[in-house]
Amino acid sequence: MRSYEGQFSDNRPLRRTREEKVRQLAELKETLRGMKPHTSPTLRTSIAAKIKELEAELAAPPPQRRPPREEGFGAGPRPPRRPRREGI
């Protein structure tokens, strides 16, 4: 079955809000603290790397929002694509 544009199976990263990132960071820190001593070092390093990545994203300033559109192209309602047939 083919996927359509924007489907979750497009192998694209999920976009998270700042609050979701903060929540995920807290969960990952708690997971790292609660790990047993016999946990694999690879798992520890991968979680620590994800923590550093999230901290860097949260430390960066939020992206600039685009200014509102000006009057002209793209402003206002669009005309219908094809005229409607009468009597239907």
For 23-75, the pLDDT digits (tens) are 999 999 999 999 999 999 999 999 999 999 999 999 988 777 777 666 656 66
- As a whole number of angstroms, the distance between CA 47 and CA 30 comes to 11
CB half-sphere exposure, 86, CA atoms < 13 A: 0
Q: Which amino acid is at 20?
A: E
pLDDT at 74: 60
pLDDT at 41: 94
Query: Model pTM greater than 0.75?
Result: no
- As a whole number of angstroms, the distance between CA 45 and CA 88 comes to 65
Q: Tokens at residue 6, please? A: 């924007």
